[in-house]
């Protein structure tokens, strides 16, 4: 038996997704997610124009060998486009192997290490009243962990904060913007940013949240890489009284040594890595224990194989998982994350942003949510199947993540 075909499907049921379909010579289908938000066609081309022909005829069971063949054989290594393409191949091959075995993927990763997976929700608001209504809604649904994002006085729009949802209303957050009429975007939108105003405002919001919702609710916050190391240290220190579950992406992660300064000044737990795409991006962060949670997603980190290598390495140093789970990872990528979560020893928490109804009609899933917890389900393989007929009805539409600028016009991290 061998790989017969490898086809790339780009669809946009509300947002853009890149899916790889691998079919074996005996007709077994495997699905992989290669979505790279705002750069989807780059990965689709990499798969279609460079990898697909090299897969045909290969033994679908040789997953590790195929991973190394794609990673080492091209000479050009790592990077988000390459690793997302490898991820799609890897997921599809694991999907096939588990389907052939007739078991859910987590059984091939060592079996379940727990019965269910704690997830965190996203609550946001331009003012405290709107934010509090959103938090109450999630608490009522059984969530025990909530990410808190707030508007900043004087700024019209802040990345990660909904400016369209009504108070308390669930919103389908998509940070990659299209044109106002829903047509293809021609360039990114631009948002402004004021670090001093943010540093003054955020601690007051967490003080109110703790006062209203008590000490038991796990609170998280994402700083979106916007602080310099000393600003990050100040923020982490100022949030210590409010006992955060984690503070995420507090400073640009590619400067791994910068986290030493934050650690020197604060005991607030730190998470980072959603923009990383290999274990090498974490080497200093992990070996010096400068973070507490690894934030990569299988879709952007070489699939199940790449993510498992990373989390095994992190586990040696007592660092836990906090896998990236936004709506710009398709349900296939989300399912891969959940199977890994269930199997690994060092699970921490899983990000969960539910996909919209149109996406879930296009990607049929077996994972389930119940009172703040997820389970990947027990269907063979990943437990997700793409409806190709529905996918064909939703063509790709260009969308871009915003560009962030300081008030003086300087392009800034976001």
- Cite the beta strand spans of 311-412 per DSSP E: 320-321, 350-351, 363-365, 368-370, 373-375, 384-386, 403-406, 411-412
Q: Between vectors from CA 224 to CA 219 and to CA 228, what angle results, nearest 5°?
A: 110
Could you tell me where the beta strands, DSSP code E, fall in 132-223?
145-150, 190-193, 218-222
161 closest CA partner among 125, 109, 202: 125
Catalytic site residue from 159, 171, 317, 396? 159
The residues near 49 (Cβ < 8 Å, ≥ 6 apart) are: none
Verify whether residue 120 is a known catalytic residue: no
List, in order, residues 6 or more apart from 328 with CB less than 8 Å away.
15, 35, 37, 174, 175, 176
b/e sequence 40-73, b meaning 16+ C-beta within 10 Å: bebbbebbbeebbebbeebebeebeebbebbbee
- In angstroms, rounded to a whole number, what is the distance separating the alpha carbons of residues 240 and 408? 31
What is the rounded CA–CA span in Å between residue 377 and residue 393? 28
Distance of alpha carbon 372 from alpha carbon 167, whole angstroms: 21
69 is catalytic: no
Q: Report the b/e string of 108-146 with b at 16+ CB within 10 A.
A: bbeebeeebbbbbbbbbbbeeebbbbbbebbbeeebbbb
The residue with tokens 């539409």 is: 397
Which is the catalytic residue, given 46, 106, 122, 224?
224
Show the tokens assigned to 1: 């038996």
Phi, psi of 168 (to 5 degrees): 80, -5
Instruction: Tell me how far apart the alpha carbons of residues 378 and 303 are, in angstroms, rounded to a whole number.
Output: 20
Q: How far apart are CA 155 and CA 190, in angstroms?
A: 12
* Residues 311, 282: Cα–Cα separation, whole Å: 11
Identify the H or E element spanning 211: helix 195-213
Instruction: Show which residues are catalytic.
Output: 159, 224
């Amino acid at each position: 038996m061998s790989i017969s075909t490898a086809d790339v499907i780009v669809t946009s049921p509300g947002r853009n997704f890149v899916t790889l379909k691998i079919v074996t010579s005996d007709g077994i289908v495997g699905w992989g997610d290669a979505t790279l938000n705002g750069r989807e066609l780059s990965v689709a081309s990499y798969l279609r124009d460079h990898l697909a022909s090299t897969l045909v005829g290969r033994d679908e069971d040789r997953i590790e060998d195929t991973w190394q063949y794609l990673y080492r054989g091209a000479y050009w290594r790592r990077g988000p486009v390459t690793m997302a393409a490898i991820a799609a191949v890897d997921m599809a091959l694991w999907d096939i192997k588990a389907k052939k075995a007739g078991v859910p993927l987590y059984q091939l990763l060592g079996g379940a290490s727990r019965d269910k997976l704690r997830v965190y929700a996203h609550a946001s608001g331009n003012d405290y009243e709107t934010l509090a209504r959103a938090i109450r809604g999630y608490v009522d649904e059984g969530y025990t962990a909530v990410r808190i994002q707030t508007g900043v006085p004087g700024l019209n729009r802040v990345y990660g904060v909904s400016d369209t949802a009504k108070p308390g209303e669930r919103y389908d957050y998509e940070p990659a913007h299209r044109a106002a009429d829903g047509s293809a975007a021609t360039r990114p939108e631009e948002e402004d940013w004021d670090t001093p105003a943010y540093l003054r405002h955020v601690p007051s919001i967490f003080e109110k949240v703790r006062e209203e919702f008590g000490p038991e609710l796990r609170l998280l916050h994402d700083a979106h890489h916007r602080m310099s190391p000393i600003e990050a240290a100040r923020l982490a220190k100022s949030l210590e009284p409010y006992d955060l579950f984690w503070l995420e992406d507090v400073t640009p992660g590619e400067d791994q040594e910068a986290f030493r300064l934050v650690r020197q000044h604060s005991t607030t737990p730190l998470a980072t890595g959603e923009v990383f795409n290999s274990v090498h991006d974490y080497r200093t962060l992990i070996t010096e224990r400068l973070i507490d949670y690894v934030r990569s997603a299988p879709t952007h980190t070489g699939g199940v194989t790449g993510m498992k290598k990373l989390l095994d390495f992190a586990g040696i140093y007592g660092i836990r998982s906090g896998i990236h789970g936004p709506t710009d990872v398709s349900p296939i990528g989300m399912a891969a994350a959940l199977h890994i979560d269930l199997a690994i020893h060092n699970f921490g928490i899983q990000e969960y942003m539910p996909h919209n109804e149109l996406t879930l009609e296009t990607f049929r899933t077996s994972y389930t949510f119940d009172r703040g917890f997820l389970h990947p389900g027990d269907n063979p393989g990943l437990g997700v199947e793409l409806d190709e007929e529905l996918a064909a009805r939703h063509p790709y539409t260009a969308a871009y993540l915003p560009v962030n600028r300081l008030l003086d016009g300087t392009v800034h991290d976001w």
